Amino acid sequence: MVRGIPLVSILVHTKNSQRTIKNLLDSIKQQSYKQIEIIVVDNNSTDDTVNIAKAYTKKIFIYGPERSAQRNFAAKKSSGEYLFVPDSDMIIGKDVITQCVSLVKEKNEIKAVIIPEKSIGIGFWATCKALERSYYVGLPWMEGARFFDRHVFEEIRGYDENNTGTEDFDLPQRIQEKYGISSIGRIEEFILHDEGQLSLSYLLKKKFYYSKNLGVYKQKNPTHFTQQANLLSRYALFFSKPQKLFKSPIVGMGMLFMKTCEFGAGGLGYLLKKMKGYSVV
């Protein structure tokens, strides 16, 4: 650590991320805040992910089986006073880390920081996903923190490795339960989430897969689960801004259809997982 300037460890989990990993790592290198280290933990990629990452950091490890475990492993290999946890398909706004460090240094009660996100991508469903995500900016129950005080992260024992899929909500909620609502801060600079060329089938498969851990999340966070898993509440949110929803009627209707299908896929996976002997794969 440079005297007076805390080190920020950036924990990157990857698996077959060659399409997006270079853009993420470029955006990290272009941060206005320079006192950083990059830790990449790859889950046995079969593409060129690791070779691409080697141009940016020597701290590359192989570990799995899921992103929660990868993140916790990366934290153990890191040295920073603060931890920043992006996904491998993100592009980080130039001043994200600067704003996060400034916020936590200014307000000692803040232990974790939310960075708002925008979706970008190619095609109709990516446009629908971008519209959906735009409703969540500034909504506490739909935004998760990605920047953490290291000591608090370790005290809380990091991500729940049995809770992959909802861990971005679970960890900040556990911090808030211990330290209060003022422990979660928020900056203005955005992260771009590169969705690529989305298909509806991909979205539904992803929602079905991660629904296997919804029971764990429901048990730990029943209030948040009820709020997030209520389709009618989500519709109420979308229709609260009808001009935005129907600025492009086709996109608006597509987004509502997409979200309904996602809820259906997630609900199906959740119910099937509850059946004895059934494994969601």
Give backbone dihedrals phi and psi of 262, rounded to 5 degrees, phi first.
-65, -45
Q: What are the mean pLDDT values of the chain's consecutive 10-residue runs (281 residues total)?
A: 84 98 98 98 97 98 95 98 98 98 97 97 97 94 95 96 86 94 96 96 93 81 83 95 96 98 92 66 46
CATH code of the region 8-274: 3.90.550.10
Q: What is the value of pTM for the model shown? A: 0.92
**Between vectors from CA 65 to CA 64 and to CA 69, what angle results, nearest 5°?**
65
